Amino acid sequence: MKPAHKLLFVLCPMLVLGFIYYSSGKLHLHVWGQKPHKGVEPTVKVSKVTSVSVKTTVKTTVTKEPVVEGPVSVGRIVGSGTASLQRVHSGQHENPSRPEFDKQGFLLNLDTKLPPELVYKYGNLSEGSCKPGYAAAKMSAIYPKFNKPASMFLDRNFKRLAKVTNYLPPFGFKTQERIIDVILSTTKKYGLGPDLDSLSCKRCIIVGNGGILSNKSLGSRIDEYDVVIRLNEAPVSGYTRDVGTKTTLRITYPEGAIQKTERYEKDSLFVFSAFKPLDFKWLRQMVFKEKLLTFPVLFPTVQIYQGTEGFWKSVAHFVPRQPSEIRILNPYFIQEAAFQFIGLPQNNGLMGKGNIPTLGTVAITMALHNCDEVAVAGFGYDMNTPHAPLHYYETVKMSAIKESWTHNISKEKEFLRKLVKANIITDLTNGI
């Protein structure tokens, strides 16, 4: 009898301990292991922790130290446990219908239909009429981070544009605030003009400079757009059958600006896009029609441009435009295209190798924020035809294109292809 009692006395706590050990193990496994699925490592760690926590329970009733020690190690395991759970969730095993995004945040499956609310919204529009908000809505559908409001040009409130105040050119305007203030107080106009600004639905086309535009007779189709955007010195005169006659905006940096004053078309806005701090000084000279003086010692505040100093090629010395016809492109579009849409190297927010988007892609980015429908023409290089002309207005051949230090054409093309594939932009020349 008495030995049996003793045995029970010993057995009972052991059973209890055994039960606690077993059930806590079960519990932990249940919480962290959920599906002990490839998760060999976490499972092993869990059982180690379990034994630790059991030991502490056995050793003491309530002392603080082990209790503290317990959750700490548990916390670590929980961390790795959730990590493995996330792996399971994002993996192929569960929920295959879950949307999947690429590194830039674009939906991998781009063949998305119009969201139902837009099908309804556009349902009553007659065939071919402008669809309000179309480009931005389609963009948001494949790129949920897209936030439409971003003004085309800088205005007197430009210092409130939080996203660009802390970046140097070309990704922002830091260090150039004073000169921009001076320029904007003289240009005094910050929009497209009353007619276009009051349109309830705007269709924009960005005309690239590619040789692919040649002999396609797209001129009259291009002229139908409300806003026709041209880049740098791309001519109109002499090419109107293929490129149209209308120019609403001409976006330009100093090296790309038209140099022959007679080649500037009337009624177009001169839209300046800065890529380096010096560019703003050049713009100030163009706005104030400052003469190019050659006495830097006598006039130290006047920037002297002789040939290519500070620029990578010669620049226009005179822009035949009134201040009221000059605008400054919001640098946010360069930043967003580079770092968010294309995924070029951040380089601490500074210009560096291969992190500058081409002006064409910057213009498209601007249009996504400011136009209801967006089309392009003359974009894309076909490297399989080295003897085809690079530009529609020059005889330079495609084969002349060199590996660019500033741009990453192939990465940029990946982004533009997404826009075309998802029907966000219409490519009239099918070069993208």
Ligand X SMILES: *[C@@H]1O[C@H](CO)[C@@H](O)[C@H](O)[C@H]1NC(C)=O
Residues that bind ligand X (CB under 6 A): 120-121, 124, 211, 214-215, 353-354, 389, 408, 411
**315 CB-near residues (< 8 Å, 6+ apart):** 254, 255, 257, 259, 282, 305
* Residue 210 or 331 having the CB closest to ligand X: 210
φ/ψ (deg, to 5) at 327: -130, 160
Distance of alpha carbon 78 from its chain centroid, rounded? 35
Question: Closest approach of Cβ 403 to ligand X, in Å?
Answer: 6
Would you say 225 and 375 are in contact if contact means Cβ atoms under 8 Å apart?
yes
Count, in order, helices (H) and strands (E) of the chain: 14, 7
* Closest approach of ligand X to the CB of residue 121, in Å: 5
Region of 188 (left: φ > 0; alpha: ψ -120 to 50; beta: rest) is left
In the complex with ligand X, the residue whose CB is nearer, 123 or 307, is: 123
Least separation in angstroms between residue 352's CB and ligand X is 9
CB of 17 to ligand X, least distance (A): 58
Amino acid at position 65, single letter = E
Please state the closest distance from residue 382 (CB atom) to ligand X, in A.
11
**Cα–Cα distances in Å, from 227 out to 147, 203, 238, 259, 374?**
22, 6, 21, 24, 10
Closest CB 335 distance from ligand X, rounded Å: 18
Nearer to ligand X (CB atom), residue 82 or residue 215 = 215
Of 252 and 408, the one with the shorter C-beta distance to ligand X is 408
Q: How far apart are CA 206 and CA 373, in angstroms?
A: 11
Q: Which is nearer to ligand X, 153 or 275 (CB)?
A: 275
Residue number closest to ligand X, CB atom: 354
| Residue 273 or 429 having the CB closest to ligand X | 429
- Which of 45, 121 has the CB closer to ligand X? 121
Tell me whether the omega of the peptide bond preceding residue 170 falls within 30 degrees of 0, making it cis: yes
What are the helix (H) ranges across 91-225?
116-123, 134-142, 162-165, 177-187, 194-197, 219-223
Q: Least Å distance between CB 329 and ligand X?
A: 24
> Could you give the CA distance from residue 364 to residue 135 in angstroms, rounded to a whole number?
11
